[in-house]
Structure 1
Amino acid sequence: MGVNFDLNDLQAFRAVVELGSFRKAAEAVNISQPALSRRIEKLEEALGVRLFERTTRSVTLTTVGRVFAPSAEQLLDDLDVALLGIRDVSSSRLGHVNIACVPSVAYYFLPNVIASYHRRFPRIRVKLLDSSANEVLGAVISGEADFGVSFMGSQEPEVEFKLLLQERFVAACRRDHPLARKKRVTWNELYEHEYVSVDKTSGNRLLLDQALSGVAPPAPSICETRHVTTMLGLVEAGLGVAAVPSMAMPGRDHPILTSVPLVEPVVKRRVGIVRRRGRPLTPAAQEFHRAIVESKRDGFASSDGPGDGPSEGAAASERAKGKRAS
């Protein structure tokens, strides 16, 4: 038995699913609302089921519609992948991209990347999964995310880690703190002051514990958090100092926070893109992937150099209109 519907009908269906409105969907695919309704009716007739429950106020998927929606999305994504390289379909398609990232990437760097991406592709929705490094890996492996940005790779053979840059850990403190006047701070000097830290569930904590096996703080931290961004809030509130990745720091113009490079030892971490091996990116995800790589090249600089690395990196990011993040 032949299937009596076409690509336009599937695109109309996806538009209604994503926008939740026949009017908005018609505007998105550049046709009249009656024409869009006819496409949906044609699809329903071809499948022999109702896909939407429609009232004067709302449009919702039926049970069958909810089952069919992921398959329709996959069909359209597969077609876009097939067309990639023949013509640029990303700028005209209505779709989405799911990105998993560690929280400080979501807080400082990705907002500027997303803003630039939205200006280029206003019809593509971005879903941001800001989670721990382990959860980023899980989202990539399960397919919940198209790819991830993290500082942890994986031993699993189906996951690949592409290095973007290396960054060093710095001492985050208030501008009125004694450490703010120094050019560099040893870990032992840091621990002479009240400090806050990340807890044992954090990937940063695991990295630091391994790198600082020979450094013993004389006292425990006064507060533990799960995420670096929360820890910076505590530092800003005056609870103490903290060791944070340099990219997590705001720029030079921040009125309260500053940072000083940490030495003896210099501790670095590798930040990169995590992908599931052998799984092609959709055109929408490929364009977002390219935007991240370009931001790194244009201004998302490494903090390996001498001097106040994070401030230099932040200044470069501002020149590229993209702040940095961990």
Structure 2
Amino acid sequence: MAHNVNIKQLRALLTVAQTGSFVAAAHRLCVTPSALTATIQQLEAGLRVRLFDRTTRRVTLTAHATGFLAEAERLVNGLDSAVSDMLALAQGERGHIRIGAAASVISQFLVPVLQQFRRQYPHITISLRNPAAQETERLVAEGEVDFAIDSRYQDNDELTYTPLMTDTYGVVCHCDTPIAALKRPVRWSDLTWGRYVGFNADTAIGHFLRLHMPSFAPFNEDHDEVESTSYLFDVLASGDYYAVLPALSFQRNSNKALRWKELQEPTLTREICVMSRPLRALAPSAQLLLDLLQDTLQSQPMPPGVKRAPPASAEPGKPGRRAARA
């Protein structure tokens, strides 16, 4: 009849065993001695054994109770530990967060935020992924990550997109090139000098540019292609090439000879969003991280070409233009 035994009764057993007195145990449990006696009697009835030998001076465990005590202590301590862990999780003090993010977001914003987050919540662990552009939205929709920070790729109807910032496209070139020497804003029509290096169509930047600038001549001509900015900056360092890149992605460049200049006529921007599932609330730990990220974004300066999303537009699910990923 194990279903007649409850945690209150087991806790009463342990407390009486520890104090050797019903009066002292009742005081520790904040109940009356008669209420404690009734609880022990209920436990004895459920177990169908006598648990204590009572004398006028001392209460001692019976042989049955002595053998049962270790198991009772394990059960009570296990429940206490589980409840403590659940409360800590609910308060964001423990847990595991799975994040997907664009490489440019990771290096520029997430790395410093995660360092601060780990200092505040050392018992929360984090998995950080940099998936391919086509994979990001799928990972969020299928629950393989808690959320992602990236630009839209397919506008998945199953996801909520909360804007964080907008990122402007520009031309990247060597400081000695004619484009870098222009004293006015750079137009797309100026991109006739040098050799164009593009991103292949499987990348988000390549996909975005082909979608929004189909008349851009280099797309229809032979040109070099790369699949990541890691290779791109090495190619551009020779001075004979140029590329089109979002401002945030250019922040990963360490070559001081390269320049980024905003492109106009037309101006193209991508929207960096938090992607989440609308019907599932984020875990408290994940929400704490997002809150810290948003607070940090509001207080730190943005790189040239990057702007914070206005507070009024930061509403889950608000539609926005399709954008690219670095």
Amino acid at match of 1:249: F
DSSP 3-state at the match of 1:281:
coil
- CA-to-aligned-CA distance 1:160-205 (integer Å, 9 cap, x gap): 1111122210111233333222243222322432121111111222
State the partner residue of 2:103.
103
Superposed counterparts of 1:123-162, under 5 Å: 123-152=123-152, 154-162=154-162
Amino acid at match of 1:281: L
CA distance in structure 2 between the partners assigned to 1:238 and 1:221 by the alignment: 19
CA distance in structure 2 between the partners assigned to 1:233 and 1:205 by the alignment: 18
State the partner residue of 2:264.
263
CA distance in structure 2 between the partners assigned to 1:190 and 1:242 by the alignment: 9
Larger Rg belongs to: 2
Q: CA RMSD in A?
A: 3.8
CA distance in structure 2 between the partners assigned to 1:253 and 1:205 by the alignment: 22
DSSP 3-state at the match of 2:195:
coil
Equivalent pair of 2:233/2:253 in contact (CA under 8 Å): no
Equivalent pair of 1:188/1:217 in contact (CA under 8 Å): no
Equivalent pair of 1:154/1:160 in contact (CA under 8 Å): no
- CA-to-aligned-CA distance 1:59-106 (integer Å, 9 cap, x gap): xxxxxxxxxxxxxx9x9997667x4xxxxx22x42x221110122222
Identity %: 23
State the partner residue of 1:29.
none
State the partner residue of 2:43.
none
Equivalent pair of 1:192/1:218 in contact (CA under 8 Å): no
CA distance in structure 1 between the partners assigned to 2:290 and 2:131 by the alignment: 18
- CA-to-aligned-CA distance 1:102-124 (integer Å, 9 cap, x gap): 22222332211212222222222
Q: CA deviation at 1:229?
A: 4.3
Tell which deviates more after alignment, 285-294 or 245-254: 245-254
Q: CA deviation at 1:132?
A: 2.4
State the partner residue of 1:243.
244
Q: CA deviation at 1:42?
A: 4.5
Amino acid at match of 2:305: G
Superposed counterparts of 1:76-95, under 5 Å: 83=90, 89-90=91-92, 92-93=93-94, 95=95
State the partner residue of 2:296.
295
CA distance in structure 2 between the partners assigned to 1:262 and 1:4 by the alignment: 70
Superposed counterparts of 1:23-42, under 5 Å: 42=74
Segments of structure 1 that go 5 or more residues without pairing to the other structure are: 6-37, 47-72, 84-88, 314-324
When residues 252 and 224 of structure 1 are mapped into structure 2, their CA distance, relative to the original with a 3 A threshold, is closer
CA distance in structure 2 between the partners assigned to 1:259 and 1:121 by the alignment: 37
Q: Is the aligned partner of 1:309 residue 2:310?
A: no
When residues 141 and 77 of structure 1 are mapped into structure 2, their CA distance, relative to the original with a 3 A threshold, is farther
TM-score for the superposition, normalised by structure 2: 0.62
DSSP 3-state at the match of 1:138:
helix
State the partner residue of 2:55.
none
When residues 193 and 205 of structure 1 are mapped into structure 2, their CA distance, relative to the original with a 3 A threshold, is same
State the partner residue of 2:207.
206
Superposed counterparts of 1:268-287, under 5 Å: 268-287=269-288
